[in-house]
Amino acid sequence: MTGCTAAGRSRTGRRAAAIVVAGLALGLLAATLVSLRFATLDGPSLRSLADRFAADGRAEHLTPEVLESIRRKLLLLSVLSAAATLLFLVLLRRAVGLLARHLEILAADAARLAAQAGTLPATLLGRAGVAAWAAPVLVLGIGVALRAWSLLENPPMGYDECFTANRFVSRPWYIVLSDYSFPNNHVFHSVLAKVATSLLGGSPYALRLTSFLGACLVLPTFLVLAARLCGRSIALVATALLAVHPDLIGQATNARGYSLALLLSLWVYGLARHISRSPNRAAGLLFVLLSALGLFTVPAMGIPLAGVFLWLFLDGRTGGTIRSLGATARRSLGILALACLFYLPILVSMGPTPLLANRFVQPLSFAAFARSLPSHVLETMKAFGMHSAAGAAIAGAGLALGFLRRWDRNVGSVAVLLLGAVLALLARRLLPPDRVLTILLPWVALASVAGYGRFFPRGRAGGAEWLAAAVLAGGVAHGAASGFPAHSHFPEAGEAVASLAARVTADDRFVAPFPLDAYVEYYAAREGLPRGLLGRDWENARRLFAFVPKEPGASLPEILGEQGIPPDLFPEVASLGESQSYELYEMRRGSTRPFRAAAHSVGPRPLAPLRHQPSSLNQKNFSPARMMWSSTWSSDLVQS
């Protein structure tokens, strides 16, 4: 009976292997034909094809030089895929047999990995009874509730969120996958956000859904990992810190890839620990896949990966340094190859430079790096300490206590992970912003709490639970008193654009400087207005709606000058209102009188409302104004 079962599994494995190999061969053949077909098109034909798929009829980032570069790369890709297809056909029988054996091992390893994963909740219990579940459920429940409350409160969209939605998520799929002209495109997150908005609409809730789910899943993942490393007591307190940390709560309502990258980094470290203790091919493949997906989300995933690989190398030295180096090199090459496959459309269209050189975070000179490093470390620790100097001091003291004590192998692995991440930043002389470095926040919190672990109540029932409850209460009180970090510089944008939606026509244009332009474009799309309203083709516009930020030195003439708009083309100016962050003007085309800044002051002034409007505009300090039309306007323009 056992022999029959083994023979049946072998036949099933060979059939599965044959299907996989045939699928790969057909996929390579299709890639060869498609890339060859596009490589033989001339520049105008490629441009026409790209414009046809663009939402606004213009594939702006595909210049003639870029299209010619794409055509050459597609030709090379067709040659390589054709060679791979021929190799597959020549080695077809051998490939099927080899893959069948590996699939059988992989299936057995996957079953064993699933069985071991099922035992993870027992790590949190420590002892039997309902009381053992109460503390973890309370910590996770409050953490998820805070993130859900933040999402349902629907805070105004931030600049980066609006830019990501405008430039990537709302565009066709080929732009999402091939455009990395700005590092705002966290590609894997953009893919998931586009799926969510395609199914649920383009609301902020749908756009933020991926970030929200990632931020919520971080908590149970970290709780399990921390319990395996440092024990239940330290894990509860450290997870309580993450549950109420304002930056991590803010990530739940920030439609970017940071919470997803943080979640993937935790999974990667958990799998790294598993494969170092008990080699498992399924776990190894998952490790490579999730690491590559993390890099596909944010290239900054390389920061925690450097720490993970340093720990894997040092941990594997017990089996020999050369063997450890070989295993580390194989995993690194696998991750690099898979990440390149994910980024293939970007590599073909733009090359590797945009991925390797973030224009906003450039390597510093040695002198500048040395001067800036101390203040950057202090600011980062302040952010990690809930944006307070006292929190930074407490976290730093915990780290110091931890490094002064003799850590065991488990807790020491956290120090090695942080050391590897720091060495990676030092090697490239990079000082990333706080939002990037939050990917290390769980490990800083765990190491800091572990440093205080020696002072935890011992032998007293519920000691850690009371500490975790105190952390939760203090974090909630701190959030209620100081509020959570806001992403938006223009919180009234939605109301402002909505107030204009009914009167805007195809002949009108919006004028908004950076960073107001991204907000206006996003909310204009939400109102169903044409994307071109924020375009620069103001020459044929009948009216301009100008947003002027309330910043030192900002004025309507300066905004028009920055946009290259001659003021005398739109001499008739009316103030439509103001809010805490901007003023709104309507300008109409005319030729009877030149623009005179003195006659139309752009500074703050009291605005008499047309009528009482019990809407959210008034509640958010937006004051509708009496129309101060110039007397030279004709009645038909006023009525229109």
Domain shared by 189 and 170, yes or no: yes
Out of 112, 145, 179, a domain closes at 112
Out of 112, 135, 165, a domain closes at 112
Span 236-241, average pLDDT: 92
Domain shared by 170 and 78, yes or no: no
Go through the chain and tell me how many residues it has: 640
Look at residue 231 and tell me if it is in a domain: yes
Quick one: pLDDT at residue 61? 59
Quick one: pLDDT at residue 127? 52
Domain shared by 154 and 62, yes or no: no
Quick one: pLDDT at residue 49? 66
Quick one: pLDDT at residue 269? 93
Distance (Å, whole) CA 339 – CA 348 = 14
Whether the pLDDT of residue 427 is over 50: the answer is yes
Q: Are the C-beta atoms of residues 258 and 436 closer than 8 Å to each other? A: yes
Whether the pLDDT of residue 629 is over 60: the answer is no
Look at residue 487 and tell me if it is in a domain: no
Number of domains forming the structure of the chain = 3
Distance of CA 144 to the CA centre of its chain: 19
Out of 450, 482, 514, a domain closes at 482
Span 472-497, average pLDDT: 78
Domain shared by 474 and 523, yes or no: no
Domain shared by 157 and 259, yes or no: yes
Domain shared by 75 and 153, yes or no: no
Look at residue 216 and tell me if it is in a domain: yes
Quick one: pLDDT at residue 338? 93
Q: Which residues make Cβ contacts (< 8 Å) with residue 192, sequence separation at least 6? A: 210, 260
Distance (Å, whole) CA 96 – CA 85 = 15
Span 326-332, average pLDDT: 84
Look at residue 609 and tell me if it is in a domain: yes
Share of the chain above pLDDT 90, in %: 19
- Compute the mean pLDDT over every residue in the chain, rounded to the nearest whole number: 77
Look at residue 524 and tell me if it is in a domain: yes
Q: What is the DSSP letter of 438?
A: G
Q: How confident is the model at residue 409 (pLDDT cuts 50, 70, 90)?
A: low
Quick one: pLDDT at residue 600? 34
Residue with tokens 């300090």: 621
Quick one: pLDDT at residue 608? 29
Q: Which domain holds residue 101?
A: 2-112
Q: What is the pLDDT of residues 334-382, one digit of tens each?
A: 999 999 999 988 888 888 888 887 777 778 888 888 888 888 888 888 8
Domain shared by 258 and 332, yes or no: yes
The four Cα atoms 374, 380, 226, 325 give a dihedral, to 10 degrees, of -50
Structure tokens at 563: 């946009």
Q: What is the pLDDT of residues 248-298, one digit of tens each?
A: 998 999 999 999 999 999 999 999 988 887 778 888 889 999 999 999 999
Domain shared by 417 and 544, yes or no: no
- For residue 226, give the nearest of 441, 457, 447 by alpha carbon: 447
Whether the pLDDT of residue 535 is over 80: the answer is no
Sign of the dihedral through C-alpha 283, 287, 289, 294: positive
- For residue 404, give the nearest of 465, 460, 447, 456 by alpha carbon: 447
Quick one: pLDDT at residue 485? 63
Higher pLDDT, 120 or 494: 494
Name the least confident of 316-330, 462-476, 560-574.
316-330
Please confirm whether the linkage preceding 515 is cis (ω < 30° from 0).
Answer: yes
Collapsing DSSP to helix, strand or coil, 596 comes out as coil
Q: How confident is the model at residue 142 (pLDDT cuts 50, 70, 90)?
A: very high
Span 184-209, average pLDDT: 92
Q: Are the C-beta atoms of residues 512 and 520 closer than 8 Å to each other? A: yes
Domain shared by 395 and 258, yes or no: yes
Beta 623-624 vs 572-578: how paired, if at all? antiparallel
Highest mean pLDDT among 8-12, 299-303, 344-348: 299-303
Look at residue 614 and tell me if it is in a domain: yes
Domain shared by 87 and 183, yes or no: no
Q: Are the C-beta atoms of residues 269 and 277 closer than 8 Å to each other? A: no
Domain shared by 255 and 325, yes or no: yes
Look at residue 488 and tell me if it is in a domain: no
Q: Where are the alpha helices (DSSP H) in 231-319?
A: 232-244, 246-251, 258-277, 281-297, 302-316
Q: What is the pLDDT of residues 80-91, one digit of tens each?
A: 777 877 776 776
Share of the chain above pLDDT 70, in %: 77
Q: What is the pLDDT of residues 145-194, one digit of tens each?
A: 999 998 888 888 889 999 999 889 988 888 899 888 888 899 999 999 99
Look at residue 413 and tell me if it is in a domain: yes
Distance (Å, whole) CA 265 – CA 271 = 10
Domain shared by 129 and 159, yes or no: yes
